[in-house]
Amino acid sequence: MDFNDTPEEAQFRKEAFDWLKDNAPLKEGPKDSWRASSEEEGLKEVKVWQNKLRDGGWACLHWPKVYGGRESTPIERVIWGQEASKFKIPGGYLEIGQGMAGPVMMMYATEEQKERYLPPMATGEEIWCQLFSEPAAGSDVAGIKTKAELDGDTWTINGQKVWTSGAHFSDYGILVTRSDPSAPKHKGLTFFFVDMKSPGIEVKPIKQISGGANFNEVYFTDVKIPDSQRLGAVGDGWKVSLTTLMNERLAVGDASGPDFQEAFSLARGQDLNGKLAIENDSVREKLADWYCQQSGLKYAKYRNISALSRGETPGPQSSITKIVSGNKLQEIANFGLDMLDSAGILRTDEEGAEQSMYQYGFYGAAGIRIAGGTDEILKNIISEQVLGMPQDMRADKGLPFNEIPTGNK
């Protein structure tokens, strides 16, 4: 039992570090991270960086080389991530395309389409989004209603999507629709990719509880999609969606925000009733709980990496990460604000202020516990897929989709 690389892994790590060192500044401390002045600026910087990665052979590590990837092993991806985290490099914007749309395109698009769309996805030149959730189809994502009707070799799309990250700056999207409302829920779906600049697509930002707007509503009014942009067979849309949902659940990992270390430092400097907060027993007990959770997740991850290193598929440990870290963040954020006593209610937007870190965590955690599968859906997944327990009885089983009760919502 050790934490050491194999000789091959050490070699890869060195290669990755050396390249990064020549191309990006090292972080000066744990809080030193890349931050863009605006979304537009960020997008520009990400594209420049992604081109550098492509030229250096470090873009889309897990993709085939022919589409701009590197054909790296899963353990190499992990090592790259560890090394890259030491540097101040641009990130965001591209994960949905490269992590979710890319794999679906590789599996279901024609060779010609792959050659056309994948390389610019790898360089970030074209950005993709995912059009799945709808106002009445969240956890029950197969319950979507957006209508797709075929006439000749053109489909007409009408309906509404919601929670679409980055729709407002995306060039393309992957889209799941209902092509046969008289078939049972999971049977009547069909999957496409769509040009986000098509006439009839309207993108409206959603204002979140934090006041920010990272997601959108996307309205489709008589949007035309050629049948050649269908991915998978007509009626097979659920099967195609599962490819990306599995990828999404793997991609949404550790909740970002203040963690044990931040709460610990805060408690060691914060006055509480005339003493340092760290001397308060209830504070110590909470800190111990968070440390154990953080440590448990860290070493669960090491167990996963070890499995990858041996060429095995990681166990189900990763399914617990989001539940544990999302809830921990919510508690730590609440603690951080509570430490300020009455002043913890005062809002500050000052960049880098300790207080604002806990404020973002306070808002953000509420979202993390929902995004990419709610805590409850993840617990269903753990009990069904990991522990092998049966599915809950469903009231909509076998019913034609258009006869399923909706409660008018």
Partner 1 sequence: MNFEFSADQMQLKDIARKFLEKEESVKRARNVLEGDASYDEELWSQIIEMGFTATAIPEEYGGLGLGYLELCVIAEELGRSLAPTPFSSSVYLASEAILNYGDDATKQALLPALASGEKIGAFAHSEANTSPTESNIKCSFSEGSLSGTKIAVVDGDIANVFIVTANNGSGVGLYLVDGSSDGVEITTQPTLDPSRSHAAVSFNNASATELKSDWSDVLGLLDRAAVLFSFEQLGGAEACMDMAKEYAMGRYAFGRSIASFQAIKHKLADMFIAVELARSNCYYGAWALSTDAPELPTAAATCRVSASQAFHECSKENIQTHGGMGFTWEFDCHLYYRRCRQLAANIGSQAIWKDKLISSLERANQI
Which residue among 199, 390, 398, 407 contacts partner 1 (CB under 8 A)?
390
Residue 380 interacts with partner 1 (CB under 8 A)?
A: yes
Residue 305 interacts with partner 1 (CB under 8 A)?
A: yes
Smallest separation (angstroms) from partner 1 to the CB of 299: 4
Contact flags string 259-288 toward partner 1, x per CB under 8 A: -----x---x---------x--x--xx-xx
Which residue among 26, 242, 389, 399 contacts partner 1 (CB under 8 A)?
389
Which residue among 393, 395, 405, 409 contacts partner 1 (CB under 8 A)?
393
Residue 397 interacts with partner 1 (CB under 8 A)?
A: no
Residues in the chain: 409
Residues 318-347 that bind partner 1 (CB under 8 A): 320, 323-324
Measured between alpha carbons, how far is residue 261 from residues 62, 65, 241, 291 in Å? 32, 40, 38, 8
Residue 1 interacts with partner 1 (CB under 8 A)?
A: yes
Residue 292 interacts with partner 1 (CB under 8 A)?
A: yes
Nearest to 108 by CA among 166, 62, 174, 157: 174
Packing angle of the helix pair 281-309, 321-338 (nearest 10 deg): 150
Smallest separation (angstroms) from partner 1 to the CB of 30: 14
Which residue among 182, 384, 399, 402 contacts partner 1 (CB under 8 A)?
384
Complex with partner 1: residue 158 or 374, whichever CB lies closer: 374
Q: Which residue has the tokens 């009839």?
A: 200
H helices of 57-184, in order, are 74-84, 95-96, 102-108, 111-123
Which residue among 28, 392, 395, 405 contacts partner 1 (CB under 8 A)?
392
Smallest separation (angstroms) from partner 1 to the CB of 71: 21
**CA dist., res. 107 & res. 103, Å (int):** 6
The answer to whether the CB of 267 falls within 8 A of the CB of 276 is: yes
Complex with partner 1: residue 213 or 288, whichever CB lies closer: 288
**CA dist., res. 359 & res. 70, Å (int):** 39
Identity of residue 387: L
Smallest separation (angstroms) from partner 1 to the CB of 258: 16
Residue 387 interacts with partner 1 (CB under 8 A)?
A: yes
Complex with partner 1: residue 389 or 399, whichever CB lies closer: 389
Complex with partner 1: residue 62 or 379, whichever CB lies closer: 379
Q: Is 169 helix (H, G, I), strand (E, B) or coil?
A: helix
The answer to whether the CB of 229 falls within 8 A of the CB of 272 is: no
Q: Which residue has the tokens 């092993």?
A: 73
Dihedral sign, CA of 55, 124, 80, 307?
A: negative
Which residue among 146, 170, 293, 359 contacts partner 1 (CB under 8 A)?
293
**b/e burial code for range 30-67 (CB count within 10 A of at least 16 → b):** eeeebebeeeeebbebbbebbebbbeeebbbbbbeeeb
Which residue among 51, 198, 306, 374 contacts partner 1 (CB under 8 A)?
306
Residue 296 interacts with partner 1 (CB under 8 A)?
A: yes
Measured between alpha carbons, how far is residue 408 from residues 272, 404, 405 in Å? 51, 11, 8
Smallest separation (angstroms) from partner 1 to the CB of 16: 15
* Angle at the Cα of 131 from the Cα atoms of 366 and 214, rounded to 5 degrees: 40
Joined together, the tokens standing for residue 229 give 């942009």
The answer to whether the CB of 216 falls within 8 A of the CB of 204 is: yes
Identity of residue 153: D
Residue 8 interacts with partner 1 (CB under 8 A)?
A: no
Residue 115 interacts with partner 1 (CB under 8 A)?
A: no
Residue 7 interacts with partner 1 (CB under 8 A)?
A: no
**CA dist., res. 103 & res. 113, Å (int):** 13
Smallest separation (angstroms) from partner 1 to the CB of 181: 28
State the number of binding residues for partner 1 (CB under 8 A): 50
Candidates 59-67, 301-309, 346-354, 363-371: pick the segment binding partner 1 (CB under 8 A): 301-309
Complex with partner 1: residue 3 or 151, whichever CB lies closer: 3
R_g of the chain computed on alpha carbons: 23
Task: Report the interface residues with partner 1, using CB under 8 A.
Answer: 1-5, 9, 264, 268, 278, 281, 284-285, 287-289, 291-293, 295-300, 302-303, 305-307, 309-310, 317, 320, 323-324, 376, 378-380, 382-384, 386-393
